[in-house]
Every structure is written in structure tokens, then in C-alpha cells.
């Protein structure tokens, strides 16, 4: 339960809150001169920047005895405090300034930096060698299903209170509160789960491990950038394809549910770990998915691209998570680096949107992440080739 439920609840809460704030900001900007892809991308970037910096600075500290559980609990509590304050403001008829939306995303990123790397490291510590595959599958399906259901229901919750988003923010507050309660009440195991792991998970040569770790981080950076572009710019894609808010939720839920299906299929880690072909194919296929979004003329085409993107993000995230946990005993540090790479991929929509603003081509961000994925494929291939020769 501890590998699944807190991860499910925290991502459900976070994505309901993000979706609600994103669409409130979009409508606010439309009412005052027009929204833009760059503004929406900057909104997402506020979360990403604080998350990346937080992962780099906070996660290594959780390798010290006793700090992982405290970091997890503090992250959930900070997220709860933020969305509760926003929900209270909405319920009382208040409206934050435009800058308040960006500040809220920054704080949510800090909360996530306390929660996620420590939580991932603790999952690996509790599992041990024999149960790692099943533990990672539960964790990955937990946060992915929470994210998918959060995005799916966020559209309907937003439609219940489109002017202030109080319904969605209230649901996010409740989910954060339950996650914090579960963490405090049930995660009381001391010892191994709070300190460095005693042994590495496999006996592979260090040079081989380093090659797979580098290739997986680069691949996940690029593939996550494709997913982040879809999520960050969904209001604009919805406008172009004439989708309502609920249909936008379906599109994003399709992406994330496909990701969950991949996690389930990869729970037997012995079948795919330290195999070159799956890692080498992921980034080129992500390039194709990004091009499909660039060309998409209708919802069915976009749904097919979302399905492919979800399958590929599931593969890339599983690889980077496993190879990070398997590299050495400093799991807090490795999870921080893993999440920072993922977070940097989430900044790609900002760069793509800046290009779109200058070229007046609204879908240029998808073409931009396609080129990034192509470059990542070349880097990953070189890393695996060099480390294989060294080994």
C-alpha cells in the first residue's frame, strides 16, 4: 500500500490543481488581451524550475539517516497548505493576481522536490533485490493512475465551477490531506528505509552501469519533454482542434493511462534491464510521436499520438528509475538527479513556445521536441557504444 497509495493521491491532487489553475489563468489572460503559448509554458516552467533546483539541493540530504520520511511528509504537508489556501480564496470569492498563479506553481514545485525523490528512494530501500520489480511497478502505476485520473476528472470538476475552480481545488485539498495522513500513520518502518542501502542490486561492471544510466537519463529528458509539451500547451491544442475542456482531459488521460499500461508490462525487470535495443528505440519513436502532434488534424489523430507518447514515457521513465536505483548506494542523490533530468525535459515547452512566438507557428513546440528527441537518440547511442567498448 505504501508504494502505491501516497503516490496515487499526491499526483491526483497535484494535477487536478495544476489543470484548474492552468485553465483559470488561460481564461483570465483571454479576458485581458489574449492568452499565449509562451505564458502557459512559463506557468509550467515556474513549477519545473523550483522542482529541478529542489531535487538537486534537497534529495541528496535524504541519504542521511531519518530524513527520508520527514522529507516525504513535509512535501505532502506543503502541497496541502498551498491548495487549501487557494481553495479557501476561491470559495470566499477571491481571485489571486496573475502573478499569484505563477507563485503557486513555484511553491508546488518545492513541495514536489521534498516529496518525490525521497519517496522513490524509500520504495527502493524497502523492496530489496528480490521485490524491486514489483515495488517499482506499484509505485509507477500509483503515481501514473493518480495523474491520469486527476487530469481526467479535472476537466469535469472545472466545468462545475469554471469561474473560480473551487471544486477542483477542494478535491485536490482532500487528496493531499489523505496522502499526508496515510504517510504519517502507516510509514513507521525505521532502519533500512531511512539510511543508505547496503548493497547494489546487480553485479554489472560499473562502466556498463554508467553507460545505461547516462543513456536512460538523456532519453527520459527528451521523451518527458514531448509529454510536457502536450500537457503544458493543451489549452492551445484544444483551441486548434475545437475540443471542449472535458475532451482535453480525455486526451491527457489517454496519454497517462498508456504510460501506466507500460509500467505494468515492465514489472519483471529481468526481462528488459541492461538490454540495448529498448533504450535505443525509445527516443526515435518519441520523435515520431511529436511529429504526429505537429501534424494532427483532429482528435482521433491526437489521441493516437497521445497513446504512443504514453507508451514511450512509461518505457523511458522505467529505465531511468531502475538504472538510477541500481547504480550505487546513494539513492537519494540518484533520485534527485533522475528527477532533475525529468524536470529539465519539462522546460522544453518553454523553449519551443518562445520559438513559436517569434515564428507565429503555434505547433512549432512539437517540432522542437521532435528534434530534441532525435538528438537524444544520437547521444544515447554513443553512450551505450562507448561504455560497451570500455566494458
For the chain, the domains span 5-390
- How does residue 35 score in pLDDT terms, banded at 50, 70 and 90? low
- How does residue 389 score in pLDDT terms, banded at 50, 70 and 90? low
Task: Output the CA torsion 203→221→335→187 (10° steps).
Answer: -120
Among residues 57, 42, 51, the alpha carbon closest in space to that of 107 is found at 51
- When pLDDT is averaged across residues 361-376 and rounded to a whole number, the result is 94
- When pLDDT is averaged across residues 127-132 and rounded to a whole number, the result is 72
Among residues 80, 81, 86, 78, the alpha carbon closest in space to that of 58 is found at 78
Tell which CATH architecture fits domain 5-390. Answer: Up-down Bundle (1.20)
- How does residue 176 score in pLDDT terms, banded at 50, 70 and 90? very high
Terminal CA-CA length for the chain: 39
Structure confidence at residue 197 (pLDDT)? 44
Rounded to whole angstroms, the Cα distance separating 165 from 247 reads 18
**pLDDT per residue as tens digits for the range 255-284:** 988 998 998 888 777 778 899 999 999 999
Which residues, in sequence order, are CB contacts of 81 under 8 Å at separation 6+?
Answer: none
Rounded to whole angstroms, the Cα distance separating 293 from 319 reads 24
How far are the Cα atoms of 64, 125, 324 from residue 200, in angstroms, in the given order? 18, 11, 11
Instruction: Judge contact between 348 and 227, C-beta under 8 A.
Output: no
Amino acid at each position: 500500500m505504501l508504494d502505491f497509495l501516497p503516490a496515487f493521491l499526491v499526483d491526483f491532487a497535484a494535477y487536478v490543481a495544476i489543470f484548474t489553475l492552468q485553465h483559470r489563468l488561460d481564461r483570465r489572460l483571454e479576458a485581458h488581451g489574449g492568452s499565449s503559448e509562451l505564458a502557459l509554458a512559463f506557468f509550467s516552467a515556474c513549477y519545473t524550475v523550483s522542482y529541478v533546483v529542489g531535487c538537486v539541493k534537497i534529495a541528496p540530504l535524504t541519504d542521511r539517516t531519518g530524513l527520508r520520511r520527514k522529507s516525504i511528509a513535509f512535501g505532502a504537508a506543503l502541497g496541502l497548505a498551498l491548495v487549501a489556501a487557494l481553495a479557501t480564496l476561491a470559495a470566499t470569492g477571491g481571485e489571486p493576481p496573475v502573478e499569484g498563479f505563477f507563485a503557486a506553481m513555484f511553491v508546488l514545485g518545492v513541495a514536489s522536490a521534498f516529496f518525490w525523490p525521497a519517496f522513490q528512494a524509500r520504495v527502493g530501500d524497502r523492496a530489496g533485490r528480490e521485490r524491486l520489480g514489483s515495488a517499482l511497478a506499484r509505485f509507477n502505476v500509483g503515481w501514473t493512475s493518480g495523474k491520469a485520473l486527476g487530469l481526467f476528472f479535472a476537466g469535469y470538476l472545472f466545468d462545475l465551477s469554471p469561474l473560480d475552480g473551487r471544486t477542483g481545488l477542494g478535491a485536490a485539498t482532500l487528496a493531499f490531506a489523505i496522502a499526508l495522513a496515510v504517510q504519517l500513520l502507516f510509514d513507521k518502518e525505521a532502519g533500512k528505509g531511512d539510511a543508505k542501502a547496503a548493497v547494489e542490486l546487480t553485479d554489472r561492471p560499473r562502466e556498463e552501469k554508467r553507460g545505461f544510466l547516462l543513456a536512460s537519463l538523456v532519453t527520459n529528458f527528451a521523451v518527458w519533454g514531448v509529454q510536457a509539451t502536450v500537457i503544458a500547451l493543451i489549452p492551445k491544442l484544444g483551441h486548434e482542434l475545437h475540443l471542449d475542456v472535458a475532451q482535453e482531459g480525455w486526451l491527457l488521460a489517454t496519454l497517462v493511462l498508456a504510460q501506466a499500461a507500460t509500467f505494468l508490462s515492465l514489472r519483471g525487470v529481468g526481462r528488459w534491464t541492461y538490454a540495448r535495443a529498448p533504450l535505443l528505440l525509445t527516443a526515435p519513436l518519441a520523435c515520431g510521436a511529436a511529429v504526429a502532434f505537429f501534424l494532427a488534424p483532429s482528435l482521433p489523430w491526437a489521441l493516437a499520438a497521445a497513446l504512443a507518447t504514453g507508451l514511450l514515457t512509461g518505457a523511458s521513465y522505467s529505465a531511468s528509475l531502475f538504472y538510477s536505483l541500481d547504480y550505487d548506494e546513494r539513492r537519494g542523490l540518484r533520485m534527485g538527479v533522475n528527477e532533475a533530468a525529468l524536470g529539465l525535459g519539462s522546460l522544453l515547452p518553454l523553449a519551443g513556445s518562445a520559438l513559436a512566438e517569434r515564428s507565429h507557428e503555434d505547433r512549432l513546440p512539437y517540432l522542437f521536441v521532435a528534434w530534441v528527441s532525435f538528438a537524444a537518440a544520437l547521444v544515447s547511442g554513443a553512450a551505450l557504444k562507448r561504455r560497451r567498448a570500455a566494458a
